[in-house]
Amino acid sequence: MPADSVNARKPVVLWAVPRSRSTAFERTFVERDDFEVLHEPFSATYYHSPERRSERFLDGEPDEDARAGQVLAEVLRPRDRPVFIKDMAYHVAAFMDADFVGRFTNSFLIREPRKALASLHAKHPTFTFEEAGYEQLARLYDHAARDGASPPVVDAGDLVRDPDGIMRAYCAAVGIPFVAQALSWRPQKVPEFSAWDSWHAEAQHSSGIGDVDGEQRTLPAHLEQVYQRCLPHYERLRAARLMPAGATPG
């Protein structure tokens, strides 16, 4: 692809909720050689910058280079290849608006919240409602869907059941080639995941989308109210979910 067309192309972003198999989805782009992959760049703003909304992972002084403006400039700078980004919508809650969202080719990944919340609780028992992610994901979707736009929404359940069909439909929706070989990989450490390495063991030890985070967990009773708050956001986005060509939503 010529450099001028690469620089003119908006980065493709997958906005997700935690524990939605988003890193396995991202892994398919790591396996390609036609994209530069940026892993959760705005997490540094949310957790480590002077503008942070949480001090949960702050170790030492705030990072001035993690301010939203600096991170956005780094994300958007000209590169030799198109850019694919995976990030959590709640990471950009403080500066999410139509102008920000308009800088990207936006796409969304959801997962049935009982499963996602149970997995998140097992990893991170003290998460906040904002960190659950559903409210901010729906808010960002509304920005991206203005003026009749239809940004693609992938449901993790559909993705696991039919990785080939869903990824073909996804690639068509964001206007990029589908690469079948990227759906399987060799288990190994992935440099792009190093900042949050302990969170991504499944995606690094797996060999494909279908065998990531397959364990069954029960949602603790005290999170039932959180589930009920997340469910309407999930159901609204699920109504717009992407389906493989010729499939009928179920």
CATH number at residue 178: 3.40.50.300
Q: Is the pTM value of this prediction over 0.85?
A: yes
Residue numbers of the domain that contains 101 = 3-238
Residue 249 lies in a domain: no
Residue 250 lies in a domain: no
Query: Which residue would you say has higher pLDDT here, 203 or 39?
Result: 39
> Predicted confidence band at 208 (pLDDT cuts at 50, 70, 90)?
confident
Residue 210 lies in a domain: yes
Residue 156 lies in a domain: yes
Residue 190 pLDDT greater than 70, yes or no: no
Q: Residues 6 or more apart from 90 whose CB is under 8 A from it?
A: 46, 130, 131, 133, 135, 136, 137
Residue 247 lies in a domain: no
Residue 144 pLDDT greater than 60, yes or no: yes
Residue 139 lies in a domain: yes
pLDDT tens profile 76-99: 999 999 999 999 999 999 999 999
Residue 248 lies in a domain: no
> Predicted confidence band at 218 (pLDDT cuts at 50, 70, 90)?
confident
What's the distance, CA 9 to chain centroid? 19
In Å, what is the CA distance from 228 to each residue of 2, 114, 117, 118, 231?
48, 9, 11, 13, 5
Residue 15 lies in a domain: yes
Domain count, the chain: 1
Spatial contact of 22 and 86, defined as CB atoms under 8 Å apart? yes
> Predicted confidence band at 200 (pLDDT cuts at 50, 70, 90)?
very low
Segment 212-229 shows an average pLDDT of 82
> Predicted confidence band at 215 (pLDDT cuts at 50, 70, 90)?
low
At 107 the pLDDT is: 98
Residue 207 pLDDT greater than 70, yes or no: no
- DSSP symbols for 39-107: E-TTHHHHHHSTT-S--TT--SS--GGGSHHHHHHHHHS--SS-EEEEEEGGGGTTT-SHHHHTTSEEE
